[in-house]
Amino acid sequence: MKVSLSILTVDYLRVKESLENYINDVDYVHLDVMDGVFVPNISFGPAFIKSLRKIDENKIFDTHLMIEYPDRYIKEFSEAGSQYITFHVEASSDVLKTIELIKSYNVKAGISIKPKTTVEEIEKYLPYVDMVLVMSVEPGFGGQKFMDSAVDKVKRLSELKKANNYSYLINIDGGINDVTGLKIKDYVDLAVSGSYVVNNKDPKEAINKLHNL
Ligand code: DX5
Ligand code: ZN
């Protein structure tokens, strides 16, 4: 499976150095945006992403908005250099409108569900999205334990994708490592990995392991 690297748990003063070391090994960079309202943590905004863009002009930036009122900030995050913008269905009052807004900036649109939200709740949006991001931890922090309840969700999304010829990528986020990755590798196109990679004594080897599960 492909790997989207989350830099959430990297010391921000060392993000440049970390990315320069292994950005070529990962397929996407996953950018966790938190507003302190939708989730109990605050991270970074579009200005930070714009600066990261200077490190690599071509890498796919997969921006994960864990914020209320996502529509207010889609323009800024698209201009910062995101190829994918994923928002939470729980945070949007008009999900189809948010999807259209993202696409209007020529950015691919993703929807994400928290552990308590079911796949059935987003089924009607599946024909219109480019990515579905299943949270396998409660969003807010890196380094948490993988929740097994996410396995059935990615499995179901993969069945629905095949049965209906949908084009979305299936992505999973939270607690992914070389053990939990085995549970989901057959159902996802890519997986987000943060602490397993960045806190590993050999990050390149950790990425390699995820690629080869
Ligand atoms: C959690 C974030 C995740 C997280 C992944 O709210 O959305 O992207 O940083 O980190 P690990 O791999 O450490 O769970
Ligand atoms: Zn994330």
What pLDDT score does 60 carry? Answer: 98
The CA distance from 122 to 135, in Å, is 14
The CA distance from 169 to 60, in Å, is 13
- Of 6, 11, 53, 51, the closest CA to residue 30 belongs to 6
173 is catalytic: yes
Question: Which tens digit of pLDDT belongs to each residue from 183-211?
Answer: 999 999 999 999 999 999 999 999 999 99
Task: Indicate the average pLDDT of the chain.
Answer: 97
How far the first Cα of the chain sits from its last, in Å, is 7
Read off the pLDDT band of 27 (50, 70, 90): very high
Read off the pLDDT band of 148 (50, 70, 90): very high
Tell me if residue 92 falls in helix, strand or coil: coil
Read off the pLDDT band of 84 (50, 70, 90): very high
Contact between residue 176 and residue 192 where contact means Cβ atoms under 8 Å apart: yes
| Domain boundaries along the sequence of the chain | 2-211
What pLDDT score does 159 carry? Answer: 98
Contact between residue 35 and residue 66 where contact means Cβ atoms under 8 Å apart: yes
Tell me which residues have their CB closer than 6 angstroms to ligand 1. 6, 8-9, 30, 32, 64, 137, 139-140, 142-144, 173-176, 192-196
Domain 2-211 has CATH 3.90.1150.10: no
Q: How far is the CA of 139 from the centre of ligand 1 (A)?
A: 7
Question: Which tens digit of pLDDT belongs to each residue from 109-127?
Answer: 999 999 999 999 999 999 9
35 is catalytic: no
Atom of ligand 1 nearest to the CA of 138: 6
Task: Please pick, among 35, 62, 130, 173, the residue that the annotation labels catalytic.
Answer: 173
Query: H/E element holding 135?
Result: strand 131-135
Contact between residue 190 and residue 1 where contact means Cβ atoms under 8 Å apart: yes
What pLDDT score does 210 carry? Answer: 98
> Ligand 1 atom 6: the closest Cα is on which residue?
139
Question: Which tens digit of pLDDT belongs to each residue from 150-188?
Answer: 999 999 999 999 999 999 999 999 999 999 999 999 999
